[in-house]
Amino acid sequence: MICRMTDSDIPVLDRFSLAGKVALVTGASSGLGAGFAVALAQAGADVVLAARRADRLDAVRREVEKLGRSALSAETDVTDPEACQAAVQAAVERFGHLDVLINNAGLGTAVPALRETPEQFRSVIDVNLMGAYWMAQAAARVMPPGSSIVNIASLLGLVKSFWPQAAYAASKAGLMGLTRDLNQQWSGRRGIRVNAVAPGYFRSEMTQEIPPDTLNEFITQTSTLGRMGEQHEIDTVVVFLASPASSYVAGVTLAVDGGMSGH
């Protein structure tokens, strides 16, 4: 008797595997994005690293290669739609396909609204919202059915901020709207699921700019867990959303914020 394994016979942990997949991570030169690149490689993916600082990308590329996976550094400014297209093209030229996009590039400034210049406001929207859209468009043009796009939004797209962050909050709330709409357009028709993650507070170059005492006070008051998140606690969520483990999760924003948005 021949026994054929069907999709429902795959053991649960194997569903998180990204073996044979290619993932592109924007903002992979530091912070969360560098961590995601390594985590995706640990799950079996080859990785394309996109950001502006080429030397920092190369350092992350070497970390991925130490895991036995292949990596490509693609110097990219996500505010330029043609550069996004070129990063996707480089991925396909090197690996033959692209299955996962992590839209993580972002910047967060705190400026009182009455003093914020048009350039300051635009620069945040340009990277956090428009950059994610240019990358998603470029990626979705080549992604096969079964692919996944994960947009890294923020807690501050869901709840009020402690600091004056109109541009940042608007960009991240916009990214959640973009997530819903792109998922509506692509998940059924093209087999590309689009989801978002809303991180709370994790250590990175971005959060280093916040005075530690203020940040600690804020976190103690707002997080039900009373602490910042650790990189591995968000890596697992990103790998889940990137992988077939989340095959029935589509168009949602998952908060990874130690209970901060649950108030």
Q: Binding residues for ligand NAP, per CB under 6 A? A: 26-27, 29-33, 51-53, 56, 76-79, 104-108, 127, 152, 154-155, 199, 201-202, 204-207
> Helices 132-140 & 166-190, crossing angle to 10 degrees?
10
Which is nearer to ligand NAP, 105 or 250 (by Cβ)?
A: 105
Q: How far is the CB of 88 from ligand NAP (least distance, A)?
A: 14
Q: How far is the CB of 201 from ligand NAP (least distance, A)?
A: 4
Which is nearer to ligand NAP, 177 or 244 (by Cβ)?
A: 177
Query: Letter for the amino acid at 154?
Result: S
Pairing of β 253-256 and β 71-75: unpaired
Which is nearer to ligand NAP, 14 or 49 (by Cβ)?
A: 49
Interatomic CA distance for residues 205 and 210, integer angstroms: 10
Beta-sheet strands, E only, within the chain: 22-26, 46-51, 71-75, 100-103, 147-152, 192-199, 253-256
Q: How far is the CB of 69 from ligand NAP (least distance, A)?
A: 19
Interatomic CA distance for residues 222 and 214, integer angstroms: 12
Nearest to 191 by CA among 159, 148, 158, 162: 148
Q: How far is the CB of 86 from ligand NAP (least distance, A)?
A: 13
Q: How far is the CB of 31 from ligand NAP (least distance, A)?
A: 2
Interatomic CA distance for residues 50 and 205, integer angstroms: 17
Q: Could you tell me if 129 and 171 are in contact, meaning their C-beta atoms sit under 8 angstroms apart?
A: yes
Query: Letter for the amino acid at 80?
Result: D
Catalytic site residue 168? yes
**Partners of 49 in beta bridges:** 25, 73
Nearest to 24 by CA among 61, 57, 49, 42: 49
Write down the catalytic residue from 133, 168, 201, 248: 168
Which is nearer to ligand NAP, 95 or 201 (by Cβ)?
A: 201
Which is nearer to ligand NAP, 9 or 213 (by Cβ)?
A: 213
- Which residues are designated catalytic? 168
